[in-house]
Amino acid sequence: MGHNQKIKWLMCIASVITFIYLLYCTYETGKTFHHWIKYNEAIASPPIVYELHVTPNSSPEHAVPLGPYTSLAAVKGTKTLLISAYLEHRTDEKQVRVIAVVLRRENVAYRCLFRCQEKQLLSNGSASIHRDHFGFAYGTADIMCPLPSGCETPSSIAVTSAAANTTDDPNQEFLEVKNQQEKTESFPYNFTVCISTMFDFTNVLQLVQSLEMLQLLGVNRVVVYKTSCSPETQRILDYYTHKGLVEVIPWSLSRYVNVSRSWLPEHGPGELHYFGQIPALNDCLYRYMYQSRYVALHDIDELILPQKVTSWVELLPLLEKKYGANKCYRFENDVFPINFMSPPPASQSLPPQADWKNVPGVNILAHLYKEPIFSETYSNFKIIVNPRAVFSTSVHGALNAQDGWSWIDRSIARMYHTR
């Protein structure tokens, strides 16, 4: 049933429950959730919002950068959309990896235009399409651009079509080349969680519970690739951004590609899987490759919980000792459906929750029944990785990792999915 184990963890978060109780219900006596939202708006620094602007008469070929977080640029004469660019330190030949979304049936010869100090230099690029595309017309790809002679530290890069011959275009879009410095230790963050993609999101209560739980587990950074959410959700994201926990990456590919709202074409029309979830995950992996010791890739309604220790800080050394360092650690998916509600055991009690009834969202404390283990338990796993040991990832596991993967014994840790 998963009853007692989940209760044990929930009892560990009494301080979190108190925080949520105050946050939502009684910041001041008699205040409602909406009063708290107004209060938080007043004390928090105004959030920086970056939007993708395309004028009515413009085309995707003239995309305006999103701002300092990410840029999107279409390759003229093709259906290719460029997401971000990262200097690759792990290949024999030094290259820039450009994460892109491509039309899988389209064959394109790419040219890479580098800005190096005050020079512009060219090399030929080659694309590799990720094998996980779930049958959609578009898929995630890596366009690898070898550094030309005399260009060791390019500041930015443009990718063009050799057939279009647009390297001299004065309006050419350039992406900043990130990850200029390779690091092997002393990272700003110990654990980063990549959440993608947030769309039409209104589940405020579970969002707060999950963010607080992740902090107790030792997570320093949560990266949210956001397409759309309710105003209440946005205030919560602003609060945790101001606190330094959350980074919100505006994520809207629909101006370029007909994105699907589902994971399979037959379940939702569109040309790209689930709002572009896979390119978002790959961008997050590389964005935090030299900022975080470990990166976890899972959804906001999922929590990877240790069974023998109380935090990821204690868990990861155990995993490295048992399974080896630099593995892709896979965690079994235990589902707690929200259409079942179970009271806690009589011998255990939880903090009062009555005042949460007006808070929008799912209360994970009310769902203690665990589904029996099915084959889906193993196919829908999620992972924690050393990002420097992974080259590409998908929704469920790394596609290309240096040292392979290991299933984590459920008695050591497993994933709790309250969906």
Joined tokens for residue 357: 């009834």
pLDDT at position 243 is 97
* Domain assignment of residue 41, yes or no: no
Whether 364 and 226 share a structural domain: yes
Q: What is the CATH number of the domain that holds 113?
A: 2.60.40
Burial of 74 from C-beta contacts in 10 A (0-12 / 13-18 / 19+): buried
- The predicted model gives 199-226 an average pLDDT of 95
pLDDT at position 118 is 84
pLDDT at position 12 is 54
179 versus 372: which is more confidently predicted?
179
* Domain assignment of residue 40, yes or no: no
Whether 308 and 386 share a structural domain: yes
Q: What is the pLDDT of residues 113-168, one digit of tens each?
A: 999 988 999 999 999 999 989 889 999 999 999 999 989 899 999 999 998 877 77
CA dihedral 384, 387, 393, 397 (to 10 degrees): -20
29 versus 290: which is more confidently predicted?
290
34 versus 103: which is more confidently predicted?
103
If DSSP codes are grouped into helix, strand and coil, which group holds residue 207?
A: helix
Mean pLDDT value across the chain: 82
241 versus 344: which is more confidently predicted?
241
If DSSP codes are grouped into helix, strand and coil, which group holds residue 219?
A: coil
Q: What is the CATH number of the domain that holds 363?
A: 3.90.550
Residue 393 has pLDDT above 60, yes or no: yes
pLDDT at position 134 is 86
- pLDDT category of residue 78 using cuts at 50, 70 and 90: very high
DSSP secondary structure letter of residue 201: B
Whether 140 and 195 share a structural domain: no
Joined tokens for residue 397: 């596991």
DSSP string, 31-71: --HHHHHHHHHHHSPPPP-------TT--GGGPPP--SS--
| Among 150, 176, 202, residue at a domain's last position | 176
DSSP secondary structure letter of residue 419: -
Residue 317 has pLDDT above 60, yes or no: yes
pLDDT at position 30 is 37
pLDDT at position 349 is 58
pLDDT at position 67 is 37
pLDDT at position 372 is 66
Q: Which of 390, 379, 393, 380 is nearest to 327 (CA)?
A: 390
**Number of separate domains in the chain:** 2
* Domain assignment of residue 35, yes or no: no
Average the pLDDT over each of 13-17, 264-268, 318-322 and give the range with the smallest value: 13-17
pLDDT at position 99 is 98
Whether 314 and 259 share a structural domain: yes
Whether 255 and 278 share a structural domain: yes
Domain with 364 in it? 189-343+352-418
Whether 228 and 367 share a structural domain: yes
* Domain assignment of residue 89, yes or no: yes
Strand partners, 157: 114, 175
* Domain assignment of residue 23, yes or no: no
Whether 223 and 371 share a structural domain: yes
* Domain assignment of residue 335, yes or no: yes
Q: What is the pTM of this model?
A: 0.83
CA distance 303 to 210: 7
Whether 172 and 223 share a structural domain: no
| Among 123, 151, 176, residue at a domain's last position | 176
Q: What are phi and psi of 185, to 5 degrees?
A: -160, 175
Whether 163 and 205 share a structural domain: no
The sign one gets for the Cα dihedral 223, 226, 232, 235 is positive
pLDDT at position 267 is 85
Residue 240 has pLDDT above 60, yes or no: yes
**Beta pairing class for 246-250 and 221-226:** parallel
* Domain assignment of residue 319, yes or no: yes
pLDDT at position 39 is 40
Whether 228 and 113 share a structural domain: no
Residue 43 has pLDDT above 80, yes or no: no
Whether 303 and 392 share a structural domain: yes
| Among 176, 207, 230, residue at a domain's last position | 176
Whether 402 and 338 share a structural domain: yes
Q: Which amino acid is at 116?
A: C
CA distance 311 to 90: 31
- pLDDT category of residue 8 using cuts at 50, 70 and 90: low
* Domain assignment of residue 2, yes or no: no
- pLDDT category of residue 352 using cuts at 50, 70 and 90: low
Q: What is the pLDDT of residues 320-346, one digit of tens each?
A: 999 999 999 999 988 776 666 666 565
